[in-house]
Amino acid sequence: MGERVLVCIPSYKNPARLRECLGLIRSIDSGGRTVDTLVVDSGSDPVELGDALGSFEGVELITMENRGYVGCVNTGLRRAIEKGFDYMLVVTDDARVESGILDGLIPPLAADERAAVSGCKILHVSKGRKGGARTVAMTGAFLGHWAFPKSRKVPEDSTEVARCDWVNGAAVAMKVRVFAEIGLLDESFFMYFDELDLGLKLKRAGYHAVYNPRVSVVHESGSGFYGMTSGKGGAYSRYYHSRNVALLYYKRSPIIFLYFLPYYIAASALRSAVLLLRGRPDCGLAVLRGVKDFFAFNLGRGPY
């Protein structure tokens, strides 16, 4: 086999959660591969961060200013390109990976010359309206043509590896040579909708994603605010969703953006009003601020 894999863990101000993630990463089956681990951290307390990493040998640490999930991934990709890794597995520090994740995500990339990234079923577990547990599964998806953020997904009950346009970034494997060729992710997004933008970039370059439904990962933070219109999401998630969906359409095509614009303005105003009426003024104002910052082209890291 002989592949070299860099596991990149974006980390943000939660060393206890990072420690748990590193414990899971240490237990994954390498399958005969050479596996190195890199933590890219933004803003954690240095003492607490050192304590979290102290139990794990051979973990490389890069600390940097907060450039969001996208900045962390790009930092990992630069290191992977520089050091000659074949693949990079991105696992957010709040993702709970299975031991066989490498065997689930690496072989589909190796078998398909035009596959650039591979992903798995991402599970968000939250309380339903009646208080019971509710699981929402994020599968691989397709960009579509006009309203592509609302485009179709690979069916939840699928059991076969499938070609698609984009996969969720909580746990995703990347073919390093592709990014050496086409460049890195767009840090204008900071977080949210960056996976769709990457899918668009790959499609334009003649590449695609693959999705393996036989591997699943629980994404804990995603469980806390799943759904833009729910009462769960924090102001920061509302802001970046509101701003970045418009950026995504704009990058797709200025003509398509003009088609989308009336809906975007109306939906943002309605969403803001609903949140205000529900007693969430911070979230309602965050939606409007996201709209304002898009039109001002204040991108990258926002005020949240």
Q: What is the CA radius of gyration of the chain?
A: 19
Per DSSP bridges, beta strands 4-11 and 87-91 are: parallel
Per DSSP bridges, beta strands 208-219 and 162-164 are: antiparallel
Q: Per residue in 253-291, pLDDT tens?
A: 888 899 899 999 999 999 999 999 999 999 999 999 999
List of domains in the chain: 4-224 (3.90.550.60), 235-295 (no CATH)
Q: Per residue in 175-233, pLDDT tens?
A: 999 999 999 999 999 999 999 999 999 999 999 999 999 999 999 865 444 344 344 56
Query: How far is 261 from 268, CA to CA, in rounded Å?
Result: 11
Q: Per residue in 4-42, pLDDT tens?
A: 999 999 999 999 999 999 999 999 999 999 999 999 999
pLDDT at 152: 83
pLDDT at 72: 97
Contact 146, 259 (CB under 8 A): yes
Contact 99, 29 (CB under 8 A): yes
pTM for the whole structure: 0.92
Mean pLDDT of the chain: 91
Instruction: Give residue for tokens 């980390």.
Output: 11
Is the pLDDT at 45 greater than 50, yes or no?
Answer: yes
Is the pLDDT at 132 greater than 80, yes or no?
Answer: no
Of all residues in the chain, what percent carry a pLDDT higher than 70? 90
Query: How far is 200 from 143, CA to CA, in rounded Å?
Result: 7
pLDDT at 126: 67
Query: What average pLDDT does the segment 95-115 reach?
Result: 96
Query: What average pLDDT does the segment 110-131 reach?
Result: 86
pLDDT at 151: 65
- Planar angle of CA 80, 28, 1, nearest 5 degrees: 60
pLDDT at 296: 98
